[in-house]
Amino acid sequence: MLRRLGSPLAVLYVLLWASAYVPSKIGATAMPPLWFLVGRFLAAGVLMAALALVLKRPFPRRPNDWLAYAALGVFANAAYLGLTYAALSRGLAAGIASIVASTNPLILALIAPRLLGEPLTRNKLLGMLLGFGGVVGVMLARTGTETARPEDVGLALLGVTANVASTILFKRAQGSNDLLAINTIQLLAAGLVLIPAATLIYGGPRVELSSAVVASFLYLVLILSVGASLLWFWLLSRGAASRVSAFYFLTPIFGIFFGALFLGESVGPGDGIGLVAVALGIVLVQRN
């Protein structure tokens, strides 16, 4: 049963993860992006906390563990998505944001030899060159447009780097390994830490309510922050999480597709070439 379900569910997880960029783009342009994230993280965190309490999941006992997992939330959620949403609100296309986000394993492969003791093989080096070359190619193909300006791509890349930092922190963490409890702590910490930042940058929260904004918020909270997280827990608990990495190259493909379908974002030959380069780079990096 696991062999039959593992791969389809891994593809479903990647599909859900890539689908987040369209509602994120809608939310980030309808209200100050950090305030949108505050609402998303706190709403999802409260739901996850209630679920964890109902299921009687064990939370960390040591204060240091709480601090470590809160730091994970700051890097993996507040910094990563905060910078990504800022780039989206400035005009970065949702499809391009998904391509930039897919460089996560490329950046991790670059720093893994020093921080995690993982060797930098020929395949990984070639994959990184291809992947980053693909991102640069997409930027060059969109020169003169507002959908992939270097400063916006740079913001998104900085966010991806913060997410990579969270991966390293998680691998080094020694506390409770209950992922439901950990995710609850991360979400609540991310929402709380963004409140002063959002207040300082934007003042009070304001929003242009519409059916699209409400639907985007509910989708991100229920389907992504809660549903996709639980799917990830299921894959982890059954040893099938490694299957996700095998399909990670599909992320930018799905992202470009959703951006074109729901937001009418244009896709040119240069985007296609860059997308293929990034996908091939991810495949090479993940090969042993």
Q: What is the pLDDT of residues 256-285, one digit of tens each?
A: 889 999 999 888 888 888 888 888 888 887
Give the integer Cα–Cα distance in Å for 140 and 151: 13
Query: How many Å from the N-terminal Cα to the C-terminal Cα in the chain?
Result: 26
Domain count, the chain: 1
Give the integer Cα–Cα distance in Å for 143 and 150: 9
148 is in which domain, residue-wise? 2-286
CA distances from 26 to 22, 89, 219 (A): 6, 9, 12
Let me know how many helices (H) and strands (E) the chain has, helices first: 15, 0
- Its pTM stands at 0.86
Sign of CA dihedral 229, 82, 156, 86: positive
Interval 41-81: pLDDT, tens:
999 999 999 999 999 999 988 888 899 889 989 998 999 99
Token couple for 81: 């998505």
Residue in the structure block whose two tokens are 């492969």: 109
